[in-house]
Amino acid sequence: MPMQAPSIGERFPEMEVVTTHGKMKLPDHFRGRWFILFSHPADFTPVCTTEFVAFAKRYEEFKKLNTELIGLSVDSVFSHIKWMEWIKEKLGVEIPFPIIADPRGEVASRLGMLHAQSSTHTVRAVFIVDPDGIIRAVLYYPQEVGRNLDEILRLLKALQVATKHGVALPANWPNNELVKDRAIVPPASTVDEAKERLKKYECYDWWFCHRELPKEDVEEAKKYVKQ
């Protein structure tokens, strides 16, 4: 039976994995960097191929955000390598990041990635992990719908901005309908602080205040939002 998936806020489980780049110990292999571990149902399948091409084409964007990528499926290293060769030969795209081989499904089971109706296929899961090895976001997609890579980049950037500035970010940030590209100020914890909020920030009320963010953070995030 699949194990319960680790939750947001928990440390990514320690494990040794076999990848197309050799053995790695997670999460320590990426210590000091963010990393995104994403699973796909199977090699040599059309939707997964489109996703890997999309990840590869945005790899430098992830690198600019101090983030590494690592894929996973229940296929073997041999299958991964042959599939990578096919993508390079037929589509002209080289896959620069490692892919975990998990033919017995042990890693996928530990991370809660196995499909409920098939012990031989992983769902399209995404784990975003911070430089301290803490899981900051978890996304799941069905087998029949591929992921939106620009949204994953936007979410990653938003998490980094929220962490850096100690704020929360609104829906559709940086293009929110109410506060636009501004950040939500954390809630007040005392009566006096609540009163000061109205003087210090722009507010709809003391519990809903917002402030500007550095222009460079906003402009970078806007690159990942299609107008």
Domain boundary among 120, 147, 174: 147
pLDDT beyond 70 at 160: yes
Q: What is the mean pLDDT of the chain?
A: 94
Label residue 4 by pLDDT band (50, 70, 90): confident
- Residue 105 lies inside a defined structural domain of this protein: yes
Question: Does the pLDDT at position 3 exceed 90?
Answer: no
Q: Please say if the pLDDT value at position 148 is more than 80.
A: yes
Least confident of 2-6, 86-90, 169-173, 214-218: 2-6
Annotated catalytic residues are: 48
Strand partners, 140: 125
- Tell me whether residue 116 is in a domain: yes
pLDDT tens-digit readout, 11-57: 999 999 999 999 999 999 999 999 999 999 999 999 999 999 999 99
pTM (two decimals): 0.94
Average pLDDT over residues 201-211: 96
> Which domain CATH number covers 33?
3.40.30.10
What are the tens digits of pLDDT across the range 92-116? 999 999 999 999 999 999 998 887 7
* pLDDT mean over 216-227: 87
Among 126, 147, 168, where does a domain finish?
147
> Which pLDDT score, from 0 to 100, does residue 180 have?
97
Q: What is the mean pLDDT of residues 161-166?
A: 97
**DSSP for 12-26?**
PPPEEEEETTEEEEE
- 131: amino acid identity, one letter: P
CB 142 within 8 A of CB 41: no
Phi (first) and psi of residue 56, to 5 degrees: -65, -40
Domains in the chain: how many in total? 2
Q: Are residues 135 and 39 in the same domain?
A: yes
Do 177 and 117 fall within a single domain? Answer: no
- Cβ within 8 Å of residue 69, ≥6 positions away: 35, 36, 38, 55, 59, 62, 97
Strands 67-73 and 34-39, sheet pairing? parallel
Same domain, 62 and 111: yes
